[in-house]
Amino acid sequence: MNNKRAISWVAGVLVLGALACNMPSIAGPQPPDDIPTPSASDLDSFGQKLEDLQDGGLAQPFSVTFTQAELNAIANASLDDLAASGEEIPVRDVVLVLDDGLMYSYGTIQIESLQANGLVTIRPSISADQTRLIISVESAEFGPINVDGETIESLRSEVERGLNDLLNTSGGTILLTSLILDDGFLTVEGTPLQ
C-alpha cells in the first residue's frame, strides 16, 4: 500500500510539474496602469502629422511631436497589418511609454505554447552626422524566457529602420537637431540638409 501511495504521489508531482512547465502564460514586466488605450483618432492624428511632413514640412526647419497614444496606435496597427498579411508575429499588445529620454516597450511575446510579458528599454539618439536616429537597447527582459542577442539586435534594427523611414518620408536628407522623449511625448526637430 505504501508503494502505491508513493507511486501515486510521484505521478501526481510529475503531472503537476508537466502542467507548470506548459502553462500558457508566464508573468513578466507589466506596463503602468495609467496608459490609455490607443484609439482610431490617435492613429489618424499620427497619419496626419506624417502627411504634413511629406507635404513640405521637411523642406524647412521642422518640429513634430508624437504622443504616446499615437505611437501605441501605429505600433499595434503595424503589428496587426503584418499578422493579417500572414507573417508570424511573436509579439503582441505593445505598449510604449516615453519618459526621461527612454522608450519603454512593453509587450507579450509568444514562443510556441509559451507566453510571457516583456519589457525592452530603448534609448534613441541622433547619429554623429545628424542624419539619422540611432537606437540602443538598454535592457530586455521577458519573464523567465531567455531571448538571445540576435533576436534583440533584430528588434533594435527594425525599430531603428522604422523610425528613420518615418523621418525620411519626403525623400530628402535632413539634419536632426533635437530628440526629446519625456512625459509621454516624442519630439523630433530638424532642418533640411543644404
| Beta pairing partners, 25 | none
Q: Is 75 left (phi over 0), alpha (psi -120 to 50) or beta?
A: alpha
**Tens digit of each residue's pLDDT (9 = 90 or more) over 124-134:** 999 998 888 89
pLDDT confidence of residue 145: 75
Strands (E), the chain: 62-67, 91-99, 102-111, 114-126, 133-141, 174-182, 185-192
pLDDT: is 10 or 133 the higher one?
133
Q: Which of 78-82, 117-121, 160-164 has the lowest mean pLDDT?
A: 160-164
**Tens digit of each residue's pLDDT (9 = 90 or more) over 101-138:** 999 999 988 877 888 899 999 999 999 988 888 989 99
Long-range pairs of 86-94 with CB within 8 A, sequence gap ≥ 24: 91/118
pLDDT above 80 for 45: yes
Report the chain's C-alpha Rg in angstroms.
Answer: 22
Sign of the CA dihedral running 74, 80, 86, 92 = positive
Collapsing DSSP states into helix, strand and coil, what is residue 184? Answer: coil
Cell of 107: 509587450
